[in-house]
C-alpha cells in the first residue's frame, strides 16, 4: 500500500442554503478543493451522501456530481453509511489511492436537508435507524440518543450540566468558524432553559438540520509533495459496525463501533490515543460526544462528563475536541460531516485555522464520524 | 496491487418476493456466498443498493446488513451508482482486496422493489435520471430509452424486429436459469404484439421490477487457491461516467461511459474484446443491449441489431451475450444486478451452469453494468 496525503480542501458555508441547489453545493466545495490542491484533474471521485432519494428526489449521485463538476468520464461512486457517509467516502478514496489504482482522488460529501419540511427531514434521518424495529414504531434520533443519555446518567451520574458544557464549548469554538451554521456563543443556562426535545436533551443539546458540502483531494505522498507545499498525511483508516438497533446492544452507553474503529485506526497508524493532539468527533447530540470520547479510550466510561466540566476538551485543554465547532455549532449536513471534519483537521495541521481558533503545536489528529445511533463509525488519523 | 479472485457466490431467486423482507434477501444471498467460499469469516463488506430510502424506508444499509448477517463489527459500506450499484460494489471490494487492506471481502447487492406501488417504483427508478432536468418533467426510463431507440432506428435502420430478437434470445437463456423471474420462452410475434409502453418499446422489450439479492466473496489469489477448488480471477475493473441527462450528450445512441469503462477494463487486463468468450451486459431494455455491444466495440455502430437477428449473441453464437437470461428474463433488482452478472459468469467459468445453458470452452468473460440511461457504467473482466 502507498502512503496517502490530503493535498486540497474545500467546503461551503453550512446553513439553510435555500438559494443553492444540491448539485451547486457539491460543485462549490469540490471546485474549492481542486483549486487548493494544485492538481489539474481527478482520476476518480467519491460522494458521501445519506439520502439523496428522500431529501431531494435524486439518486445516481456520483454520476450527477461528476457531470456537474465537469470531470466526467472519471469513475464516481456514491457511498453511504448514514451520518458516517462522509467518513466512508474518505475511507474509500484513501483505499483507492493506497491501492495504486488511481492517483488523484476526490472524496466529497453533501446533504441538502432543508428543501423538505421538518416532518420529512425527521423521517429521512430516522432511516438511519432500524426501520422495522425502530423507525416504524416512531423512534427518532433525539429519542434514541435521549435513551442513551438517560442510561448514562443513571449508570454514571452524568448530569444535564455536563451535557450543556459540551454544547457551550462547541459553540465557543464554532463562533470562530466562518463556515458555521450557528456561530453564536451560548451559556450553560441557555442550554438548560432551552426547549426540551426528548428528555434530557434540550434543543441546544442537538445538532441542527443543515445544507452543505465539503471535499478533500487525496494523492500518493510522493505526488502530493510536488503539488502542495504542505500535504497532510492520512496515516490510517478504521471502520466498524454494530447492531443498528439500540435494543440489540449489550450496553447502550457503549459505542462499540467507535471503539473498534478507533482501535483499528490507531493500530494501523502505530499510535496510541495519547499520541493524538486534538480530535474532531461526532457530537450529533451532546451525549454523543461524551460516549464517543469514552469509546475512543480518551476517558474511562462515565468520566467524559466531568472532564467536559473541567474544560479538558476546550481549545486550551489537554485534548481539544471539535475546534471547528463540531456538528453542534458548525452544522450537520449528514453526508458532508465526515469530510468537514477532515477539512478542519487539515486547516489546523497546516496552521491556517481562522479567527484565533488555531491550536498550538499540533502534529497529529483523529477524526471520528458516526452513523445512526452508533451502528457504524469511521475513524481516520492524520499527521502534519 | 494484489491479484484478486472470486471464491464464493450466492443469490436468491429473483421475482416478486412478498414473503421475504429486504434484509432477508440480502442475508440469504450473502450466507450462500460465504458457504460456497470456504471462508469462515469476512474482513469487510460492501452492499450495492440504489434506493433503500425510497423503496423500503431504510438507509444505513451496510451496517444493517452486517448486523443481520451476523458479521458486525466488520466494516460495511453501501455503494450506489443507480442500476450499476452492484457493479460499483464489486469494484469497491476488488480495490479493497487488491490494496492489501483486507483479505476476505464480500460484495453484495440487493433491491426490494415490489413493496411499494407501481407509481412509487417508477418515481424511485426515475431518481437515476437528472431529477431537475428529466425527473421533475415527467421523464421515466422507458421514455428515455425509447428516445434512444428512436434515434437508433432513425440513424441506423434498426427495427422493432431486431429489438424483439434480443428479448427472445434472453428469455430463451432465462428459461434455463432456475433463479429467473420470467423463465418463459417468448416469440418475436409475442414481443411485437405486446402492449406498447413507450414507442417503440413494448412491455416485452422492458426488464421487470424485481426483488432479489446476490453476493460474491473475494480474496487475494494466493489465499483463494487454498480456500476454493476453482477460484475465478478478476483481471480488472473499469468504471466511467457520462452526463446524467440525455440531452447533454453529443450523440444519444452512443453510451460513452460504457465505451470508456470497457476500454479501461480491457487495458488493465491486457486484453482486447476479441479475447472475451462471453458477456453479461445491461439489457434493461432491448435497445440497451444493442447500444452497449456497440459501445463496447463488439459491433460497429448500427450493426448489433442485424447481428442479433443472425443469432450471433445466442448461446451457440460467436459471442454469447446474457446466458443468464439478462435483466430481461432473469429480472432486474437494480442494486443486485451487477453482482448477479458476476454470479452467472463465475458459474459459467466453473462449468456449473444449470439446465443445459453451460457454454462450452469458456475461459474469459466480461460483465457490463450500467446506471440510468448510461450516466455510469462498471465493467469487470474475469478469467477461469
Residues 6+ apart with CB under 8 A from B348: B278, B323, B358, B359, B362, B365
Please give the Cα distance from A24 to A10 (Å, whole number).
13
Q: Give the residue-averaged pLDDT of A343-351.
A: 98
What pLDDT score was predicted for residue B263?
98
Given pLDDT bands bounded at 50, 70 and 90, which one contains residue B47? very high
pLDDT confidence of residue B351? 98
List the single range of A113-127, A140-154, B241-255, B335-349 with lowest mean pLDDT.
A113-127
Structure confidence by residue, pLDDT tens digits, A296-311? 999 999 999 999 999 9
Domain range B139-205+235-329+344-383, its CATH number among 3.40.47.10, 3.40.640.10, 3.40.50.720, 2.40.10.120: 3.40.47.10
Nearest to B73 among A100, A241, A248 (CB): A241
pLDDT (tens digit, 9 = 90+) per residue, A247-266? 999 999 999 999 999 999 99
Q: 3-state SS of A335-359?
A: CCHHHHHHHHHHHHHHCCCCCCCCC
Query: What pLDDT does residue A228 have?
Result: 87
Say how many C-beta atoms besides its own lie within 10 A of residue A300's C-beta.
10
Please report which confidence band the pLDDT of residue B119 belongs to, taking 50, 70 and 90 as the band edges: confident
| Average of per-residue pLDDT across B90-100 | 98
The CATH 3.40.47.10 domain(s) of chain B lie at 4-117+210-232, 139-205+235-329+344-383
pLDDT tens readout for residues A105-145? 999 999 999 999 888 999 999 999 999 999 999 999 999 99
B284: annotated active-site residue? no
**CATH fold of A4-117+210-232, please?**
Peroxisomal Thiolase; Chain A, domain 1 (3.40.47)
Closest CA to B364 of B266, B287, B295: B266
pTM for this one? 0.98
Residue A6, pLDDT above cutoff 90: yes
Q: Does residue B229 carry a pLDDT above 90?
A: no
Q: Which of B78, B131, B371 sits opposite A63 (nearest CB)?
A: B371
Q: Does the ipTM surpass 0.90?
A: yes
CATH 3.40.47.10, chain A: domain bounds: 4-117+210-232, 132-206+235-383
Instruction: Give chain A's mean pLDDT.
Output: 97
Q: Of B163, B33, B188, B14, whose CA–CA distance to B105 is shortest?
A: B33
* 267-296 in chain B: CB under 8 A from chain A: none
| pLDDT over 90 (residue B228) | no
Specify the pLDDT at position B160.
98
CA–CA distance, B44 with B50 (Å, rounded to integer): 20
Q: Which residues on B lie below 8 Å from A81 (Cβ)? A: 60, 62-63, 76-78
Residues of B in contact with A244 (CB under 8 A): 60, 63-64, 67
Known active-site residue A254: no
pLDDT of residue B117: 87
DSSP 8-state assignment for residue A211? E
User: Distance between CA atoms of A263 and A247, rounded to whole angstroms?
Assistant: 24
DSSP A26: H
- Computed over every residue of chain B, the mean pLDDT equals 97
Task: Identify the pLDDT of residue B77.
Answer: 98
Q: Which letter does DSSP use for residue B336 in this model?
A: T
Nearest-angstrom CA–CA distance, B211 and B367: 21
Percent of chain B scoring above 70 in pLDDT? 100
Mutation target to probe the B interface, by most B beta carbons within 10 A, among A30, A282, A376 is A376
CA distance A305 to A280: 17
CATH assignment of A132-206+235-383? 3.40.47.10
**B59 confidence band (pLDDT: 50, 70, 90):** very high
Rounded-to-integer distance, Cα A90 and Cα A238, Å: 11
For residues B50 and B111, what is the distance between their CA atoms, to the nearest angstrom?
7
What is the structure's pLDDT at B206?
98
Task: Assess whether pLDDT exceeds 90 at residue A229.
Answer: no
Amino acid at each position: 500500500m502507498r502512503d496517502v496525503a490530503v493535498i486540497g480542501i474545500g467546503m461551503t458555508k453550512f446553513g439553510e442554503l435555500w438559494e443553492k441547489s444540491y448539485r451547486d453545493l457539491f460543485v462549490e466545495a469540490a471546485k474549492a478543493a481542486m483549486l487548493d490542491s494544485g492538481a489539474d484533474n481527478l482520476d476518480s471521485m467519491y460522494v458521501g451522501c445519506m439520502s439523496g432519494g428522500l431529501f431531494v428526489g435524486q439518486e445516481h449521485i456520483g454520476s450527477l456530481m461528476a457531470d456537474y463538476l465537469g470531470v466526467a468520464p472519471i469513475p464516481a461512486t456514491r457511498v453511504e453509511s448514514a451520518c458516517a457517509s462522509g467518513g466512508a467516502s474518505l475511507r474509500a478514496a484513501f483505499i483507492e489511492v493506497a491501492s495504486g489504482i488511481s492517483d488523484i482522488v476526490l472524496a466529497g460529501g453533501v446533504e441538502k436537508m432543508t428543501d423538505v419540511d421538518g416532518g420529512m427531514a425527521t423521517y429521512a434521518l430516522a432511516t438511519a435507524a432500524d426501520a422495522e424495529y425502530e423507525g416504524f414504531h416512531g423512534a427518532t434520533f433525539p429519542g434514541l440518543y435521549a435513551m442513551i443519555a438517560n442510561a448514562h446518567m443513571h449508570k454514571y451520574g452524568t448530569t444535564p450540566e455536563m451535557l450543556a458544557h459540551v454544547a457551550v464549548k462547541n459553540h465557543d469554538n464554532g463562533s470562530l468558524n466562518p463556515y458555521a451554521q450557528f456561530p453564536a456563543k451560548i451559556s450553560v443556562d441557555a442550554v438548560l432553559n432551552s426547549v426540551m426535545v426528548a428528555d434530557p436533551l434540550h434543543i441546544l443539546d442537538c445538532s441542527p438540520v443543515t445544507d452543505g458540502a465539503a471535499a478533500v483531494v487525496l494523492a500518493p505522498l510522493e505526488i502530493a509533495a510536488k503539488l502542495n507545499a504542505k500535504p497532510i498525511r492520512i496515516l490510517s483508516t478504521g471502520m466498524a459496525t454494530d447492531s443498528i438497533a439500540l435494543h440489540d446492544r449489550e450496553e447502550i452507553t457503549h459505542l462499540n463501533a467507535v471503539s473498534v474503529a478507533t482501535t483499528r485506526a490507531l493500530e494501523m497508524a502505530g499510535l496510541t490515543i495519547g499520541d493524538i493532539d486534538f480530535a474532531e468527533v461526532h457530537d450529533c447530540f451532546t451525549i454523543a460526544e461524551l460516549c464517543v470520547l469514552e469509546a475512543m479510550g480518551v476517558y474511562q466510561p462515565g468520566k467524559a462528563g466531568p472532564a467536559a466540566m473541567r474544560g479538558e476538551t476546550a481549545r486550551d485543554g489537554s485534548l481539544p475536541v471539535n475546534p471547528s465547532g463540531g456538528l453542534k455549532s458548525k452544522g450537520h449536513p449528514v453526508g458532508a460531516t465526515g469530510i468537514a471534519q477532515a477539512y478542519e483537521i487539515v486547516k489546523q495541521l497546516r496552521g491556517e485555522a481562522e479567527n484565533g481558533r488555531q491550536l498550538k503545536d499540533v502534529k497529529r489528529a483523529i477524526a471520528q464520524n458516526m452513523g445512526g445511533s452508533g451502528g457504524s463509525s469511521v475513524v481516520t488519523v492524520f499527521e502534519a
